[in-house]
């Protein structure tokens, strides 16, 4: 898939040398104005007649194709913007994603896209432009590289999109917004690519290679901690998960360095490239989904990519412990006791609760590096899916301020999250008779007891754990979301970092 080229112009909508012109019509508008009125004039009043006769209603998602008329395009697409009350930046991102796919389906080619019709006046033009760009680039995402037959790939292309600002004064701001939105969308699509790839083609070694290539391309530092080095560092909890696999584990460390000596923010992602459950093996049905168990690591790699491009004034440490969880002869057995790098011991009751084992060392490592706050992202538990479904991801944190920052960041990205309780009483469930802690606490409050284990490795450092197991994938195309791996929470992580940079 090649992305369409995005640009911004203040030129006259009908005079641009394009194949397709897009304008927006709100639901229930009596009178056409701005770009919609210009389209009406270019079609000798056809648009107004179609509205009068109920052929164009302006309902969200409606698209009507007209002849290009007196514009230079061969077609005009009139897109329904929906009810005025719902005209916000999130509605615009969603509408842009849906429309972009419709345009691809009609082989729209070079597109001039009016930016009038949404949130006009009330939203910063840069913020609106970013959302619109995210919608287009995320909405057009496809993972079709393994379809060898042309017929199985989507037909049609969107070659370029020129966003047409009605007012020349907003062009510069919109250009800044497009640059930011494109960086966020491309980073999200990069994370989606890593997560969608099957596990035989995305081993820890391959993830590490992608991290190194991305870092070299974007100007980040990248170090891979190999097994021998991880042994020297005492990462026994992380390494215990790799014991049953023939694939060498790779502990990825990425560094974005801003000027100054402030400690970095740490982003730590679970990188299980395939989760069979290990000795505590999973049932066969649906196990293929576990190729996505490195979505946390993918999100961290994606976030680091966008951060490298957007250059905030705060340093960021990206950590992604990667390994398979396999039931080979050397695999960890229930009852085994392992030691993390900070010296704490863990009794492994269930080898399928492996995410917290690799994050114990991932978080301990980031903390030892002096990073603060620590934010880990993981497809940790089926329990979070039971609690919150595919709508919101769970946030478990020891810090109210960090929660507020995550909420502000998610308000910008449009992602949905929810704070989970972390009462001290939940710790009772993970007390072990033989070690400092055990890695399962039974079915009740399953996402919380998982978080409670990780919290022990954050110590007194501000920390948040994002359990994305429910939202790691999407079941159908809608707006910026495309069936397959979601690429959440790349944009929220980046917004959190950018907000600290201001
Ligand atoms: N990777 C899974 C969690 C998961 C489930 C992610 C569904 C995405 C979709 C995790 O490693 C796991 O197996 N968790 C166990 C924990 C249990 C053994 C305490 C679970 O949720 O059942
Ligand atoms: Zn897992
Ligand atoms: Mn597991």
Q: What is the pLDDT along the chain (502 residues), one digit of tens a residue?
A: 679 999 999 999 999 999 999 999 999 877 899 999 999 999 999 999 999 999 999 999 999 999 999 999 999 999 999 998 888 999 999 999 999 999 999 999 999 999 998 766 678 999 999 999 999 999 999 999 999 998 888 889 999 999 999 999 999 999 999 999 999 999 999 999 999 999 999 999 999 999 999 999 999 999 999 999 999 999 999 999 999 999 999 999 999 999 988 999 999 999 999 999 999 999 999 999 999 999 999 999 999 999 999 999 999 999 999 999 999 999 999 999 999 999 999 999 999 999 999 999 999 999 999 999 999 999 999 999 999 999 999 999 999 999 999 999 999 999 999 999 999 999 999 999 999 999 999 999 999 999 999 999 999 999 999 999 999 999 999 999 999 999 999 999 999 999 999 7
- Residue ranges around ligand 1 (CB below 6 Å): 275, 289, 293, 350, 352-355, 379, 381-383, 440, 446, 469, 472
Q: Are 265 and 497 in contact (CB under 8 A)?
A: yes
**Cα of 250 vs its chain's centroid, Å:** 22
Of residues 465, 481, 494, 209, the one with CA closest to residue 362: 465
- The per-type count for the chain, helices as H runs and strands as E runs, is 14, 20
CA of 290 to the centre of ligand 2 (A): 7
Give φ, ψ of 88 to 5 degrees.
Answer: -120, 180
Q: What is the pLDDT of residue 2?
A: 79
Given ligand 1 and candidates 351, 357, 382, 383, which is best to mutate, with the most ligand atoms within 8 Å of its CB?
A: 382
Task: Please identify which residue in the block is written with the tokens 């497809």.
Answer: 379
Task: Tell me the catalytic residues.
Answer: 282, 356
Of residues 489, 69, 46, the one with CA closest to residue 306: 489
Given ligand 1 and candidates 199, 271, 469, which is best to mutate, with the most ligand atoms within 8 Å of its CB?
A: 469
Q: What is the pLDDT of residue 173?
A: 97
Atom of ligand 1 nearest to the CA of 439: 19
Angle at 454 between CA 451 and CA 455, to 5 degrees: 85
Given ligand 1 and candidates 285, 289, 359, 381, which is best to mutate, with the most ligand atoms within 8 Å of its CB?
A: 381
Measure Cα distances from 54 to 37, 41, 58, 64 in Å. Answer: 17, 19, 10, 12
Reduce the secondary structure of 137-196 to three states and give it as a string.
HHHCCCCCCCCCCHHHCCCCCEEEEEEECCCHHHHHHHHHHHHHHHHHHHHHHHHHHHHH
Alpha helix stretches (DSSP H) within 204-330: 204-218, 227-232, 236-242, 295-310
Global pTM?
0.98
CA of 276 to the centre of ligand 1 (A): 10
Looking at the domain that runs over 197-501, which CATH code has it been given? Answer: 3.40.630.10
Sequence spans of domains, the chain: 5-185, 197-501
Task: Please identify which residue in the block is written with the tokens 């820890």.
Answer: 204
Task: Please identify which residue in the block is written with the tokens 């009596």.
Answer: 30
DSSP assigned state of 206: H
The CATH class of 5-185 is alpha beta
Alpha helix stretches (DSSP H) within 311-425: 355-368, 382-388, 400-413
Q: Are 275 and 472 in contact (CB under 8 A)?
A: no
3-state SS assignment for residue 295:
helix
Of residues 197, 188, 190, the one with CA closest to residue 213: 190
Atom of ligand 1 nearest to the CA of 325: 11
Alpha-carbon torsion (102, 106, 107, 111), positive or negative: negative
Element (H, E) at 311: none
Atom of ligand 1 nearest to the CA of 292: 8
Q: What is the pLDDT of residue 117?
A: 84
CA of 497 to the centre of ligand 1 (A): 28
Cβ atoms within 10 Å, residue 199: 20
> What gap in Å lies between CA 286 and CA 295, rounded to an integer?
17
């Amino acid at each position: 898939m090649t992305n369409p080229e995005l640009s911004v112009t203040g030129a006259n909508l009908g005079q641009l040398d394009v194949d397709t012109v897009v304008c927006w019509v709100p639901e229930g508008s009596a009178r056409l104005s701005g770009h919609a009125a210009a389209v009406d004039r270019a079609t000798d009043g056809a648009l107004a007649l179609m509205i009068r006769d109920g052929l164009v209603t302006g309902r969200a998602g409606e698209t009507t194709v007209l002849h290009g008329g007196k514009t230079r395009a061969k077609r005009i697409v009139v897109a329904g913007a929906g009810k005025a009350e719902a005209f916000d930046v999130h509605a615009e991102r969603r509408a842009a994603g849906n429309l972009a796919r419709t345009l691809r389906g009609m082989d729209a080619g070079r597109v001039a896209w009016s930016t009038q019709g949404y949130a006009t006046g009330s939203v910063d033009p840069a913020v609106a432009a970013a959302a619109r760009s995210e919608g287009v680039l995320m909405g057009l995402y496809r993972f079709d590289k393994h379809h060898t037959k042309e017929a199985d790939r989507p037909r049609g292309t969107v070659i370029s999109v020129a966003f047409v600002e009605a007012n020349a004064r907003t062009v510069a701001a919109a250009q800044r917004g497009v640059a930011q939105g494109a960086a966020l969308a491309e980073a999200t699509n990069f994370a989606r690519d890593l997560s969608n790839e099957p596990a035989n083609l995305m081993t820890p070694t391959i993830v590490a290679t992608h991290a190194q290539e991305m870092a070299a391309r974007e100007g980040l530092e990248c170090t891979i901690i190999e097994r021998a080095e991880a042994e020297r560092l005492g990462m026994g909890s992380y390494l215990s998960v790799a014991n049953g696999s023939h694939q060498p584990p790779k502990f990825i460390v990425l560094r974005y360095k801003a000027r100054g000596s402030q400690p970095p923010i740490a982003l730590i992602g679970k990188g299980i490239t395939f989760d069979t459950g290990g000795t505590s093996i999973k049932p066969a049905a649906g196990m293929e989904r576990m190729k996505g168990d490195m979505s946390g690591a993918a999100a961290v790699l994606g976030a680091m990519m966008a951060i490298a491009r957007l250059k905030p004034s705060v340093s960021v440490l990206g950590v992604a412990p990667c390994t398979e969880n396999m039931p080979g002869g050397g695999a960890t057995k229930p009852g085994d006791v392992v030691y993390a790098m900070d010296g704490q011991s863990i009794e492994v009751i269930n080898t399928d609760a492996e995410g917290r084992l690799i994050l114990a060392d991932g978080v301990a490592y980031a903390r030892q590096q002096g990073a603060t706050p620590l934010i880990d992202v993981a497809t940790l538990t089926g329990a979070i899916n039971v609690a919150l479904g595919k709508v919101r991801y769970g946030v478990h944190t020891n810090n109210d301020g960090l929660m507020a920052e995550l909420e502000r960041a998610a308000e910008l990205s449009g992602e949905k999250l929810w704070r989970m309780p972390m009462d001290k009483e939940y710790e009772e469930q993970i007390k072990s008779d033989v070690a400092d802690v055990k890695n399962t606490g039974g079915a009740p409050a399953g996402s919380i007891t998982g978080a409670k284990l990780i919290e022990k490795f954050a110590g007194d450092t501000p920390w948040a754990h994002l359990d994305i197991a429910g939202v790691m994938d999407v079941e159908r195309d809608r707006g910026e979301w495309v069936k397959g791996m979601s690429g959440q929470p790349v944009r929220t992580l980046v917004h959190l970092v950018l907000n600290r940079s201001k």
